[in-house]
Amino acid sequence: MKKTRILSDSDAHYLVKDAEKLLSPDRRRLLRQGLTLGGIMMLTGCDISDNADVENVLSRMSRFNDRVQGFLFSDRNLAPEYTAAEITRPFPFNAFYGPADIPQVDGRDYRLEIRGLVRDTRRWSLPELYRMQQVSQITRHICVEGWSAIGKWGGVPFRHFLTLIGADMRAKYVSFRCADEYYTSIDMATALHPQTLLALTWDNQILPPEYGYPMKLRIPTKLGYKNPKHIQVIEITNRFPGGYWEDQGYNWFGGS
């Protein structure tokens, strides 16, 4: 029978360092941010020289975090909102590429594609989306890299849009495919949260390319990587869709 070994803080520190050597840069960042002493104790039964062991434990921890965050999630818990005077100017550009690679989408030809468990799969043009009733919010974008910024976003409440297209609200996931090849997904409860927004404007102007033109999903209850830009396809599904960063080890739930 294998005995459980209790690690000292010093032992835990060096175990983290050894584990970091075996992981990619993105995985190392994830480990530094999320692996506590309690998590380290889970590693005591693993061979730290075996990369598969480390990856397996990190994956199990991430899935556990998803379950806990999903259990605690409530549509009554709202992200703070701010005043116009508190908007961050200039609002930072952030993506997995540089400004020179921002996709240039032709709004005249743009059609939002709808797939999956919905009654109405017709495509939506920008004029049709702009004519829908709009709301606005001034909320904080929180980046996993450690910075945050406050911005004003306007658009269509996602819950309203899902109702309009006849989405199956019993489905587990909503996934997004984007013009910059980014992809991510959220749970249905998050999609129906009152602050989740199909954002079409920034600071009362048409959404600029650097912030996601022609459309981004704004979820103030989630970290920034759960807020996809340049959305081209929305799919309602029961098949787990993953995500660009999530498939590389980031926590899937990604927020409160």
pLDDT for residue 31: 46
pLDDT for residue 256: 62
CATH superfamily of 84-248: Oxidoreductase, molybdopterin-binding domain (3.90.420.10)
Of 125 and 62, which is predicted with more confidence? 125
Lowest mean pLDDT among 188-202, 214-228, 242-256: 242-256
Of the pLDDT bands very low, low, confident and very high (cuts 50, 70, 90), residue 77 is confident
What percent of the chain is predicted at pLDDT more than 90? 68
Domain ranges of the chain: 9-72, 84-248
What are the phi and psi torsion angles at 247 (to 5°)? -70, -10
pLDDT score of 85 more than 50:
yes
pLDDT for residue 16: 46
Of 69 and 177, which is predicted with more confidence? 177
Of the pLDDT bands very low, low, confident and very high (cuts 50, 70, 90), residue 253 is confident
For residue range 93-140, what is the model confidence (pLDDT) as tens digits? Answer: 999 999 999 999 999 999 999 999 999 999 999 999 999 999 999 999
113-116 vs 231-237, strand pairing mode: parallel
pLDDT for residue 255: 83
pLDDT for residue 30: 47
H or E stretch at 143: none
Beta bridge partners of 38: none
Of 182 and 249, which is predicted with more confidence? 182
